[in-house]
Amino acid sequence: MGGSRIERFTCTYSSRFLAVREIDEDLMSTNSIDSLLHESRRFPPTAEFSAGAIAKPEIYDEAKADRVGFWADQARDLLHWHKPFTETLDWSGAPVARWFGDGELNVAYNCLDRHVESGNGDRVAIHWEGEPGDTRSLTYAELTAEVKRAANVLAGLGIGKGDRVAIYMPVIPEAVVAMLAVARLGAVHSVVFGGFSSESLRSRIDDASAKLVITADGGWRKGKVFPLKAAVDGALAAEGSTVEHVLVVRRGENEVEWSEGRDLWWHDEMAKVAAEHVAEGFEAENPLFILYTSGTTGKPKGILHTSGGYLTQVAFTHKNVFDLHPERDVYWCTADVGWITGHSYVVYGPLANGATQVMYEGTPDTPHPGRWWELIEKYKVSIFYTAPTAIRSFMKLGREIPDGFDLSSIRVLGSVGEPINPEAWIWYRDVIGAGTAPIVDTWWQTETGGIMISALPGITTLKPGSAQVPMPGIKIDILGEDGTRVDPPQGGLLVVSEPWPSMLRGIWGDPERFRETYWSRFSAGDTWKYFAGDGAHVDSDGDIVLLGRVDDVMNVSGHRLSTQEIESALVSHPMVAEAAVVGAADEATGQAVVAFVILRSDQEGAQTVDEASTILRAHVAQQIGAIARPRQVFIVAELPKTRSGKIMRRLLQDVAEGRELGDTTTLTDTSVMQIITDKLN
Ligand code: WT7
């Protein structure tokens, strides 16, 4: 092991990505991967489930026979087109795809009006539950009416096709109304998760030159109101902002500062406008939204999605992966609308399919640890979609809590955000799914827009710990370092080998970074391969087992964080001379942020180590948001570096995870690690 380790360190940090040979050595040598690849438990679908399932086995063959034609069929079957398309895919501008390029549609009309027009206006679209226990149910007719008014408000504020609107809100129905109103006008939303700091909001508003911000006074979380409007005020404080107006929804009832002329109450404006609004068709490639996500460098990337292809794939996957029967199912995805899961599987997928869903504002443990299960019982939720980190934290609390509620309505369970360990998978199925509900482990990314790899309930024989099979119409390969396919059970890097409808169309304002990040690794000539940044194995059954990121991106509670972004936040503090951040394995959150910091020499001794670490943890939370707050900040005298001066994060990860250190002979100064470990002990 020693020899390969040295090589691994040097390779890891001298090339941008882990070499595949190294991934193999590294991952194959750990017991967990070994046991994943030899997972022997199998859960075939029941005959009853298969008989009633939406997805029929033939779709795999249909998609294989004519991949592009398959997507054209889905686009026609699942959506309403103001102007039908005649051209399905234009890949001549690769790596920027055009799907259904000469067609026109209105995304909001597809999510709203058409359900009302087809006689389903009285179906509940959203059963919303506020954290304090207040509730609202909105039918499709009511939601459509709200969105029409909101579209009129926005149009009155000068918002039209192509304009960017930032949305910074709690999980309340108005967040959905705001997104759909923007979409209805052919404008572009940029939703910023309400847990992000004022600073993060500011950089996103500026990057997209947003004209309008839609926010709330505050939202409920853990029994308290967290202020949102104040963060918007902070983000707009600097001169020269492109923002003309701020629309504020009354939710927290907390005090807010008011900037006359700029700030407007949502309820005042909604009362002033006409109720009717006719949805116009926009071209299929009209941008729908920008969503920022962390990459390997400090600056978040504005991932751009467009309309027709995106809506086709999220509607198709939502219907087939979750076996949605809209007339009888009650669906609940626990994601915040500020993440891609909230965009695709709270807003666009479910509403395009006319689903009835539950939306919950608060945290799972407020006011008691059974809140989620209480909601499942109350609304008779039949399809439940959440993240492994949540499942693991419920496991820790014990099954007595969910056992205290009637969860018999559950018939499909979904998982997303990170690999789900087999123990959590089995617990999820046994305790939440009564030992019978199929679990779909869905692999995808902000960039892919929709689900790419997942079992299909009623078809796939399930295997814990593996996302299993590409969706029909999706071509995935696991490649070795040299770009050739690796054979099972070897590991490699996951690529998408053919364009897909909901693929990102770029990084906002940065076409070079788009090509470089995703397309430079394996593309050659006319062959374009999308590099996802994940390592994966194919097991002997041909199932795909995901192994996590191979770049400097961490996955904390299913959320993506960049080590560099947090390092930049740390060094922005006057106390800090140098910082290194690693993602350390964490039982509850998958990975946790651990920072190693060298203080400036003039600061040494100014605070105790504990004080400094507390200050810096708070500083990161204030700079980026609470999700980025390091679990630990270690104040150290030196950081381990290679001879070429790169910080050896992998070594720090060993320290952070409490492992014995490997061979450190490539360090410039081998005493460094001794100093670090001594300091920690
Ligand atoms: C990264 C994307 C997809 C919405 C939520 C996260 C990891 C996601 C799985 C899964 C293993 C997964 C990958 C991916 N990931 N789902 N089912 N199994 N890993 O979206 O923030 O864009 O992060 O999350 O590493 O690259 P995101």
pTM of the full structure: 0.91
Q: Are 628 and 572 in contact (CB under 8 A)?
A: no
Assess whether the C-beta atom of 445 lies below 6 angstroms from ligand 1: yes
pLDDT band of 16, cuts 50, 70, 90: very low
Nearest alpha carbon to residue 653 among 552, 575, 545, 547? 552
- Please tell me the least confidently modeled range out of 43-57, 499-513, 625-639: 625-639
* pLDDT tops 50 at residue 506: yes
Atom 21 in ligand 1: which residue has the minimum CA distance?
560
418-474 confidence digits (pLDDT tens): 999 999 999 999 999 999 999 999 999 999 999 999 999 999 999 999 999 999 999
What is the atom index within ligand 1 of the atom nearest the CA of 533?
26
CA of 674 to the centre of ligand 1 (A): 36
Assess whether the C-beta atom of 428 lies below 6 angstroms from ligand 1: no
Assess whether the C-beta atom of 612 lies below 6 angstroms from ligand 1: no
- Please tell me the least confidently modeled range out of 16-30, 58-72, 328-342, 567-581: 16-30
CA of 50 to the centre of ligand 1 (A): 28
Atom 23 in ligand 1: which residue has the minimum CA distance?
445
- Please tell me the least confidently modeled range out of 224-238, 340-354, 593-607: 593-607
For the chain, give the mean pLDDT. 91
98-150 confidence digits (pLDDT tens): 999 999 999 999 999 999 999 999 999 999 999 999 999 999 999 999 999 99
pLDDT at site 1: 29
Q: Average pLDDT in the 531-542 region?
A: 92
- Residue 514 vs residues 400, 532, 566, 592: alpha-carbon distances, Å: 48, 12, 22, 28
Atom 6 in ligand 1: which residue has the minimum CA distance?
417
* pLDDT tops 70 at residue 597: yes
Q: For residue 124, what are its two tokens?
A: 């509940």
Q: b/e string for 652-676 if b means 16 or more Cβ within 10 A?
A: bbbbbeeeeebebebbeeeebbeeb
Q: DSSP string of 67-86?
A: HHHHHHHHHHHH---SB--S
Assess whether the C-beta atom of 307 lies below 6 angstroms from ligand 1: no
Q: What is the dihedral of CA 197, 201, 202, 204, to 10 degrees?
A: 140
pLDDT at site 28: 35
Atom 27 in ligand 1: which residue has the minimum CA distance?
445
Type of residue numbered 137: S
Q: For residue 475, what are its two tokens?
A: 């071509």
What is the atom index within ligand 1 of the atom nearest the CA of 453?
17
Q: For residue 454, what are its two tokens?
A: 């997942």
pLDDT at site 501: 99
Assess whether the C-beta atom of 417 lies below 6 angstroms from ligand 1: yes
CA of 416 to the centre of ligand 1 (A): 7
Pocket-testing residue among 294, 560, 589, 627, ligand 1, by greatest number of atoms within 8 A of Cβ: 560
pLDDT band of 651, cuts 50, 70, 90: confident
DSSP β-bridge partners for residue 227: 218
Atom 18 in ligand 1: which residue has the minimum CA distance?
419
Distance CA 135, CA 118 (A): 27
- Within 8 A by CB and 6+ apart from 565, the residues are 294, 297, 298, 299, 300, 624, 628
- Please tell me the least confidently modeled range out of 142-151, 386-395, 501-510, 595-604: 595-604
346-383 confidence digits (pLDDT tens): 999 999 999 999 999 999 999 999 999 999 999 999 99
- DSSP E strand stretches across 417-543: 439-442, 476-479, 491-496, 506-507, 530-538
pLDDT at site 672: 65
Nearest alpha carbon to residue 468 among 492, 439, 491, 447? 439
* pLDDT tops 80 at residue 3: no
Return the ∠ at Cα 31 (arms to 28 and 34), rounded to 5°. Answer: 55
What is the atom index within ligand 1 of the atom nearest the CA of 532?
26
Atom 8 in ligand 1: which residue has the minimum CA distance?
417
Nearest alpha carbon to residue 536 among 470, 583, 601, 595? 470
pLDDT band of 23, cuts 50, 70, 90: very low
pLDDT band of 19, cuts 50, 70, 90: very low
Rounded to 5 degrees, φ, ψ at 438 are -65, 145
Percent over 70 (pLDDT), the chain:
92
pLDDT at site 26: 42
* pLDDT tops 60 at residue 10: no
Assess whether the C-beta atom of 557 lies below 6 angstroms from ligand 1: no
